[in-house]
Each structure stands twice: as C-alpha cells, then as structure tokens.
C-alpha cells in the first residue's frame, strides 16, 4: 500500500516500527554503479555513545557492530568515511566503534583512515553498524520489517525502509486529493502513523509502458531516496543536511511516472550524496484542460509541482535534505516544467538551481515554449473533448467531466498532433507571460538561479519512428512536407526552400536522405536551436547567475522508447547512430544495471559515473566541475581521469557561446558555429529571443 493520509488523519493499520530516534544515520558505501560488484556498505550511527550503547543502536536496526576487515574497508567504507571528514562532519583523527571483544585494553574502534585502536569502552563515539539490506533492482525491493525505519515528519511517524545504498520513503503524499480541474495545495498537519514502502498510484494518463494501469485521480505522491537520516529529536547540525534534487518526469505533460525504473533515485542519491525527490503531477486532460468560466484556467500540473516544492521546503529536513539548497530538474516535459517554475511567481524562493535535460521550445514543441491563451486552448482542446465525452451540451461542463470515467477521459485527444490537452496557458497565476522572458525582462527573483542544461545531438530522431509508415524514397518532397504538417504539425518549409542544404539530392533522392532531413528538422527546430537561443540570451542579459551547457555524445535508449536508428549498431556505441531524445536518462541516473541493460563496450558505466559526478558537483556547489581532491579521496578514478584530461567546463558566454561535449573518450568545449546557419534556416537564429 502506498502512503495515503489526509491532514489531521491517521492511516489505519499503519505499521508501527521502533524509530532510531536518538542518532542520525548514514549509509556508507562507494557506489560505482556496478550491479554485479556493489562493494561493501555499513551504517554510521552518528550519535556519540559508549560501546555498549552503540551496540544497542545497531540492534535497533536489526544489525550489529561492523566487523572490521581491511578488504571491506578498502572496498567502500574507507572512502565513505573520508567523505564524512571532507564534509567537516568529523576530524581526521575521529574514532568509530566497531565490533571487537572488550578487553582490559578497552573496546575496538577505527580511525577514518582504517587504523584499529583500543579505546575506553565508556568513551562516547559514533559507531559503524553492519548493513545486511540487499541490493535492490527494478521489480525487486526487500521491504522486510528488519529493514524498516520510522522517521518523525512533523507530527507524523512515517515508516520507510533501506536497501544496500539508501533509505527510501515511497508513495509519500505531498498534497490532499484535489477535485478534478482544481489547483492542489501542499499537505499540512498530517499526524499519526503511516507507511511509505511502495510507490503511489500514477496520475491518470493514456495507458503506456510506464503506466500500464492508466493511473488514478488520487496520485499526488512523492518518492524520496536519501543516504542520511537526521535524528528525529531535532534538526541536524552535524552531519550537515544534504542538497536536494526534485525531479519532474517527462512525457509531454500527457504521460509519466515518478516510479519509472529508468529514473530510480537509488544509485544517484548514493553516489552523489544528495536527497532525491521524484514527484507525480497531473497530466493531459486532467491537468491542462481549460474552461471558459474564468475559474478553471488549466495549468493544474504546475500547481502540483508548486505544491510539491512547498511540501519539500517544509518537510525535507526530516529526510536529511537542506530546504535552502534545492535544485529542480527534469527531462523533456520535466525540463519544460522546470523552466515554467523558473518563470512562475508561485515558485519564487522555493529552489536555487535548475537542471534542464532536453528542454523543448519550437517546431513540434512550439507550444511548450510559447504559451497559449486560454481562449485558444479552450477551442482547440476543451470543446472537442467535451463533445467526445458527451458533455458538449452540458449546463455545467466542469461537473460533467468530473463525473466522467477518468481512464476514458484520459484517452480523449484533439489538436494537431492528436493528443490529450498538453500546452500550458497564460493563466495569470502560474504563468503570467507568453514565454520564458530571457531578453533582460525576466523577473528579478529568477536572476540568482544557477542553470545546468544538456541535449543530445539527434533529439528528434526517436519521433521519426512514430511517424506513419511512408515510402520515404518514393513520395515527393511536397507530399512529405504535407504529411509532416498533418500528422505532427511540423513546418517543413525550410527544407522545401533549400533541400540540398538539408542533404536531399532531388535528382537522386533516397529514403535515407528524407529520413535524415526529417530528423535534422525536428531536432533543430524543436530542441537544439531554441535551447541555444535561450542560453545565449540568458548569458547576454545575465538572466541567471550562470548557465552551464552540454551535449551528450553517447546515449543508451530504453527498449520502450527507441527505434532502430536510435540504437547503437552491433559494433557498439562508438559507431554512428542517432543519439536520441531520452537516451541520456539511464546514463544520467546510473540505472543501467538496475534495469538489466548491459554495459555495451566497457565505457557506459564510467560515462554514467562521470555524468553523475558532474551533476553532483553542480548540486553541491553550483559548479559542475568536480573537485579533483574529492574524486581522489572517494576513489572515483574514472571521473578523475576524465576531468584531468579536459579543461574547465565554463558557463555560456554570449561573446563566444560554447558547450561541453560529453564523451567517454574525452571531454571538450565546442563552439556553436556548426549549427548557426541551420538554426537560422529552421527559424531559430541565435538572437531569436532578442526580437
């Protein structure tokens, strides 16, 4: 059962577990993202205690004092203790209780460097406990009672659990169930006991591999992964609270799930040493439909995201997160949602940094960067969907759609392309301007935000596989352009004006040429060019404190969202293939092993380590260049070698805009000149936002 409770209410039948209330707890490990060789782990009980009392702390966790061995220390525990010293939580000569029979010389303790000492058994020291929780993977989580932990969250006793790498609290309600089409509000005043051992329901959406049951109206849940839990008796001082990463999933604002195994937060939270929060938000017709009553103005997905950020601000310290160091981010529609939060006055002050992966602006995604009016959205989506639902003549259309079967409503489509409602609107509350204002007029509250952005080279390639089956080589250029306009609303006029520029030889036109031109146009117009223009204007006007941009030169697409052109050939990912939209996700989250995707050539795991280490540096410092000394003490050797062999990743400079090309064979800054003319022809010149 997912966590479900209302303000001032108690979940009946909640499991009551002895809380480790007197000591903050950290899971120590060195997570190299290798599912087959995870190393060793231990639990650090931070509260200083005598040897006997420390042993009881471990017993409360169904563990015992950790048995020292140099092999185990060197395969994970040592570098994790070095991390604690690096953070200033302990002095270099600090001692930690470990298992060892008391003698006349005292009880056993070790230093942070692994030297064993005999110490007076009554001396108060932190302790290392064994860690017997197993490694989790997609489809397998051991939530046995011995791995439970109960944490005080306000007046609520919340029971989660641990696996080998992190503490987990899944299906945590962050907002009461809102009435359909109404804005949500953050949950406050919860009390009693509740369990958080399983994911909550997905939000209603058309059935898809990520949400096969179609979801529920009752879906506003968060999942939390953390390597550290502070004392339930008070706020943490030392160990310090961790940075927080709040993740918004992608899916075009019509589909998605915070329970997606590809973006599971276990490995990321562990390796980056941060608190990860993944939230659900309402989707499609339940989220983006507007009405002409002046009250129901759409954008309820944005209200859910804001509610989640308020809940995080008020509660995340209980999970070891610092509410003053919150980064929001997402991929695709999650990146777009992040941009909306950067634009919205309702999200003011709720985060300090933003990560945008595969943000979309133009082309087939034009409405995600240029917000519609309520009137246009009503005519395009609401009227056809009201008619399709049998509510076209209803006296109260809102009430009529509220009474409709949610799963059936989620499946209804309109517009071009045919989809559920998806475009954000200027509603006067969550979005007050028709686009993200980057030309020097962005509100002052956004100027202190630090931004990290990334794209893949052939973002649009994945959508080529979703186009109707065409005889690419046989159809005329005009028929091709007409088909793109009808099926996906893409303007192909730049290609019609100069086919040769986009690689089409009209005298010897081939299917491959047409397919490549389709990918180029979709990628440039929908992703690459709009993002470059956005970052250029942001740098030109100092719209944000800093913007770090990058391009993934390697991707690994999951089986449920790919096509034959987006998959690396038999020769491996060093061969030519389309690096497509969403192909960066398992690499960014370190989930390949969890979901059963093998390392294709021995470079996927090191590359994933690099991406996470850069992101971790950004979450901790606002700068994605990892500290070489830190990488060395943690034993993150592969990343250390990569960054040592490269120059500094510098923020975008309007005078000479560049981004970092991410490649396991070498990192390099690259200027944007190669796409300048193509972007201009695609309707998105570098100064697009300056017009």
- H, E, C per residue of 459-508: CCHHHHCCCCCCCCCCCCHHHHHHHHHHHHCCCCHHHHHCHHHHCCCHHH
- Which parts of 66-181 fold into alpha helices (H)? 70-72, 78-86
Strand spans (E) along 280-369: 321-331, 353-357
The CA distance from 154 to 319, in Å, is 11
φ, ψ for residue 412, nearest 5 deg: -75, 140
Per-residue pLDDT of 564-585, as tens digits, reads 999 999 888 999 999 999 999 9
Q: What was the pLDDT predicted at 473?
A: 75
Dihedral sign computed on CA atoms, order 578, 580, 583, 587? positive
- pLDDT, position 674: 87
CA terminus-to-terminus distance, the chain: 53
Which pLDDT does position 683 carry in this prediction?
Answer: 87
Antiparallel, parallel or unpaired: β 275-279 and 221-226? antiparallel
Residue 12 confidence (pLDDT) = 28
Q: DSSP code of 136?
A: P
CA 390 to chain CA mean position, Å: 38
- Cβ atoms within 10 Å of 535's Cβ, excluding its own: 28
At the top level of CATH, the class of 151-411 is alpha beta
- The residue assigned the tokens 């520029």 is 501
Q: How far apart are CA 167 and CA 319, in angstroms?
A: 9
Q: 571 Cβ partners below 8 Å, 6+ apart?
A: none
Q: How many CB atoms lie within 10 A of CB 231?
A: 18
> How far apart (Å, rounded) are the C-alpha atoms in residues 688 and 532?
10
pLDDT, tens digit, 9 for 90 and up, residues 91-140? 999 999 999 988 888 999 999 999 999 999 999 999 999 999 999 999 99
Residues of the chain with pLDDT under 70: 1-23, 233-239, 439-445, 469-470
Please list, in sequence order, all residues whose beta carbon lies within 8 angstroms of the beta carbon of residue 104, skipping any fewer than 6 positions away. Answer: none
Ranges assigned E (strand) in 351-392: 353-357
Helix (H, G, I), strand (E, B) or coil at 670: strand
Quick one: pLDDT at residue 237?
58
Could you tell me which of 651, 604, 649 has the C-alpha nearest to residue 627?
A: 649
**Phi, psi torsion values for 101, nearest 5 degrees:** -60, 125
Task: Classify domain 39-129 at the CATH topology level.
Answer: Mannose-Binding Protein A; Chain A (3.10.100)
What does the domain layout of the chain look like in residue ranges? 39-129, 151-411
* pTM, rounded to two decimals: 0.95
């Amino acid at each position: 059962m997912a966590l479900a409770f209302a303000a001032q209410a108690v979940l009946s039948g909640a499991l009551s577990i002895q809380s480790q209330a007197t000591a903050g707890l950290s899971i120590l490990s060195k997570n190299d993202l290798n599912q087959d060789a995870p190393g060793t782990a231990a639990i650090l009980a931070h509260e200083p205690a005598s040897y006997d009392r420390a042993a009881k702390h471990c017993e409360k966790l169904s563990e015992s004092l950790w048995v020292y061995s140099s092999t185990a220390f060197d395969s994970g525990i040592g570098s994790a203790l070095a991390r604690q010293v690096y953070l200033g939580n302990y002095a270099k000569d600090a001692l930690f209780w470990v298992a060892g029979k008391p003698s006349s010389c005292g009880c056993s303790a070790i230093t942070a460097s692994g030297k064993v000492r005999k110490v007076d058994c009554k001396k108060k020291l932190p302790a290392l406990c064994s860690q017997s929780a197993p490694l989790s993977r997609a489809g397998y989580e051991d939530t046995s009672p011995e791995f439970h932990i109960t944490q005080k969250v306000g007046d609520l006793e919340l029971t989660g659990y641990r696996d080998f790498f992190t503490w987990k609290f899944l299906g945590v309600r962050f907002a009461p169930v809102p009435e359909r089409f109404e804005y949500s509000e953050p949950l406050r005043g919860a009390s009693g006991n509740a369990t958080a051992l399983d994911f909550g329901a997905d939000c209603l959406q058309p059935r898809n591999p990520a949400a096969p049951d179609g979801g529920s109206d009752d879906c506003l849940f968060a999942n939390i992964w953390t390597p550290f839990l502070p004392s339930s008796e008070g706020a943490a001082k030392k160990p310090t609270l961790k940075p927080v990463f709040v993740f918004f999933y992608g899916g075009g604002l019509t589909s998605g799930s915070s329970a997606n195994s590809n973006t599971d937060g276990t490995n990321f939270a562990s390796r980056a040493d941060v608190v990860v929060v993944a939230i659900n938000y309402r989707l499609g017709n339940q989220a983006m439909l507007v009405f002409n009553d002046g009250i129901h103005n759409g954008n309820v997905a944005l209200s859910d995201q804001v509610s989640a950020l308020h809940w995080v601000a008020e509660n995340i310290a209980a999970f070891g997160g610092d509410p003053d160091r919150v980064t929001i981010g997402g991929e695709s529609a999650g990146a777009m949602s992040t941009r909306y939060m950067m634009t919205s006055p309702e999200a003011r002050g709720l985060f300090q940094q933003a990560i945008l992966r595969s943000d979309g602006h133009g082309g087939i995604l034009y409405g995600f960067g240029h917000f519609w009016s309520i009137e246009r959205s009503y005519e395009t989506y609401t009227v056809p969907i009201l008619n399709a639902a049998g509510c076209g003549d209803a006296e109260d259309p809102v009430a009529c759609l509220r009474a409709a079967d949610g799963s059936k409503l989620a499946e209804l489509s309109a517009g071009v392309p045919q989809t559920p409602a998806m475009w954000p609107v200027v509603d006067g509350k969550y979005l007050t301007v028709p686009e993200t204002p980057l030309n020097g007029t962005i509100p002052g509250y956004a100027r202190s935000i630090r931004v990290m952005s990334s794209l893949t080279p052939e973002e649009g390639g994945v959508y080529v596989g979703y186009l109707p089956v065409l005889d690419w080589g046989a159809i005329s250029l005009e028929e091709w352009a007409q088909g793109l306009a009808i099926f996906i609303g893409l303007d192909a006029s730049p290609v019609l004006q100069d086919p040769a520029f986009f690689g089409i030889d009209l005298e010897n036109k081939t299917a491959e040429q047409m397919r490549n031109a389709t990918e180029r146009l979709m990628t440039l117009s929908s992703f690459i060019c709009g993002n470059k223009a956005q970052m250029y204007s942001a740098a030109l006007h100092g719209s944000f404190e800093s913007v770090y941009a990058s391009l993934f030169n390697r991707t690994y697409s999951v089986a449920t969202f790919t096509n034959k052109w987006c998959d690396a050939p038999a020769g491996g990912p060093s061969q030519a293939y389309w690096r497509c939209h969403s192909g960066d996700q398992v690499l960014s989250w370190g989930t390949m092993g969890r979901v059963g995707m093998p390392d294709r050539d021995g470079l996927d795991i090191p590359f994933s380590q690099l991406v996470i280490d850069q992101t971790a540096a950004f979450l901790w410092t606002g700068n994605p260049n990892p500290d070489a000394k830190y990488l060395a003490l943690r034993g993150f050797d592969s990343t250390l070698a990569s960054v040592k062999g490269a120059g500094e990743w510098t923020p975008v400079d309007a005078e000479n805009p560049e981004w970092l090309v991410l490649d396991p064979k070498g990192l390099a800054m690259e200027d944007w000149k190669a796409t300048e003319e193509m972007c201009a022809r695609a309707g998105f010149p570098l100064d697009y936002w300056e017009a």
